[in-house]
Chains A and B, each alone.
Chain A
């Protein structure tokens, strides 16, 4: 079966993983085979989803055979990627290399790329009706969508050409220090041979280029077909992130299908009279009513500016951290 793919994006701390999990739980409960891919779930949410170890293959939830769960671990994903695309000797040299560890954990696009690559593997398996991907937190917002190209660029030797100043060299005549004063200067600043070690690493990495570049194009095709939804709260910082996402996404993929305002307060509080209650409760209502008014204003402005589907998810008395609470979270039409 072809999987429908939903990418769940948004700033950190807005409940992205919770909404992704609730969407998957509710779709599975309706009888559709669903996979949710998460990156770094909180302990209690991981427990609710039946997650015992990070990384590895999707497994069915003990209490709902339609609900499948997989978590991503960027470090193990990268080792898998190296082994998939490099020949065995080079792959082992790569995963043991200090620069490999640094580049794959810290290159801005690398966690996003690892997540996108794993998600693509699951989509290609065609084993689920719906695949929900909880995207890694990122400052750039659309990084998840641009990561494949950035990654192909990194392994493609652009940096290597800069380092060596020309066409890709053979291993033996890597640097000609006598001919390149900049390299002599770099040596004196960095200590000798650091650049050389980096270049050796980049040459090993380059052997994965054909595989990674081909895969990057497939991943991009999947991402362009996927539906993305943006999760936010009404707080200024996550809203700014959502705005950046709505502005930037149309250049690289389909515009977001919906924005979800999580932790929303009832609009009925805005002009409510406290009634005959204690002064403490009346004062408490007044400050929450101010908060509810602010939230409503933010939502209305967002909806007017981006003409998108607006989904309002109420603030829960308790964070939904068990299967029942996830099943009961009101997603107001997002599921199904």
Chain B
């Protein structure tokens, strides 16, 4: 079954935005109406979609594929107005400023507003799939747990009611697909293992995609490596592939994405990845 919400995270530098864009391109090709969202920044995701930037207003990249970046203060106004039913005047005025101030200091407020925008797009039913370029794994916890944190800090009130509903949607595996992108290298793999550990405790079960896996280089046993560039390239390939094998042992069942040789632009990378089984 196709999921209505796909959340993609990963350590910085592993290709999280490329995978997000690839998933979106693939869903679009399958005929789904897709919204792809950047939760922070969005320059990376934009480049993978051949755009220079993303706006808060969804932009139709190609028929049926829309892209947007969440702007926190706009999301906040919308959250107060649309989701909590605060009149527009108050939402734009002092209340929004108070919330904005709060979001810099109080745990989970910023995260609830951002996740709230994502989940609202899921709930309002305008899309077959909402695919999200989420914050890196170092921060994703505070987003996925935001609802729970709010529920602890805020004893009552409308934000709390929202938070409870958000928690349910994120934990529903029929509805939500969590993806953690990683590399077969020490730091990304360690961070992925830490992420898996706390996610399991929260009853969240992400898929692991290991990016940039080198193809096998079949060499007969005892084959002599020649001197010159062909031999040098073989030595480098084998050393890198051996190192990858060590780290792949930690996630034997993970989906492996290929190393893409010689691609120049982020858009080419996303297009090629979208051809791979994701």
Contact = CB atoms under 8 A, between A and B. Distances in A.
Interface of A: 11-14, 42-44, 98-99, 102-103, 106-107, 137, 139, 154, 159-160, 162-163, 165, 180-183, 185-191, 194-195, 198, 201-202, 236-238, 240, 244, 265-266, 268-269, 272, 274-278, 280-282, 284-285, 287-291, 293-294, 297-298, 315, 317-319
Contacts, number: 186
B13 A237 contact: yes
Contact of A98 (B104, B107, B266): B107
Given A13-B187, A285-B230, 8 more contacts: A12-B136, A159-B104, A162-B98, A194-B154, A269-B233, A276-B226, A280-B217, A317-B239
B174 to A, nearest CB: 31
B243 A163 contact: no
Interface of B: 11-15, 17-18, 40-41, 43-44, 47, 80, 84, 86, 90, 93-95, 97-102, 104-108, 136, 139, 142, 153-160, 183, 185-188, 190, 217-219, 223, 226, 228-237, 239-240, 243, 261-266, 269
B266 A280 contact: no
Contacts of B108: 102
10 contacts: A13-B11, A13-B14, A102-B107, A182-B90, A189-B84, A198-B106, A275-B230, A281-B233, A291-B261, A319-B185
Contacts of A237: 13, 15, 17-18, 44, 47, 266
A277 B226 contact: yes
Given A11-B12, A43-B190, A284-B233, A189 B264 contact: no
Contacts of A181: 90
Contact of B243 (A188, A198, A319): A319
Given A182-B93, A266-B229, A236 B266 contact: yes
B187 to A, nearest CB: 5
Given A294-B264, A318-B243, A183 B98 contact: yes
B266 to A, nearest CB: 4
Nearest to B239: A317
A188 B157 contact: yes
Nearest to A158: B101
Contact of B94 (A139, A182, A191, A275): A182
A186 B95 contact: yes
B159 A189 contact: yes
A166 to B, nearest CB: 11
A240 B264 CA distance: 12
Nearest to B233: A288
Given A13-B187, A137-B12, A189-B157, A195 B229 contact: no
A288 B136 CA distance: 30
Given A186-B98, A189-B157, A194-B154, A272 B106 contact: no
A269 B15 CA distance: 26
B97 A293 contact: no
A159 B155 contact: no
B234 A191 contact: no
Shortest Cβ-Cβ A-B pairs, 5 listed: A13-B13, A290-B262, A12-B12, A272-B229, A102-B107
A210 B40 CA distance: 32
Contacts of B159: 189-191
Contact of A162 (B17, B80, B101): B101
B86 A13 contact: no
B230 A42 contact: no
A137 B188 CA distance: 14
A189 B47 contact: no
A236 B45 CA distance: 12
A280 B216 CA distance: 10
B226 A275 contact: yes
Given A99-B107, A238-B13, A266-B229, A284 B237 contact: yes
A272 B230 contact: yes
B29 to A, nearest CB: 22
Contacts of A277: 226, 230-231
B11 A12 contact: yes
B264 A298 contact: yes
Nearest to B87: A185
A236 B269 contact: yes
A288 B41 contact: no
A163 B262 contact: no
A14 B13 contact: yes
A288 B231 contact: no
A146 B11 CA distance: 24
B106 A194 contact: yes
A329 to B, nearest CB: 15
A189 B230 contact: no
B90 A319 contact: no
Q: Which of B18, B234, B243 has the most C-beta atoms of chain A within 10 angstroms of its own C-beta?
A: B234
A291 B105 CA distance: 45
B52 to A, nearest CB: 11
Contacts of B232: 266, 269
Contacts of B266: 236-237, 240
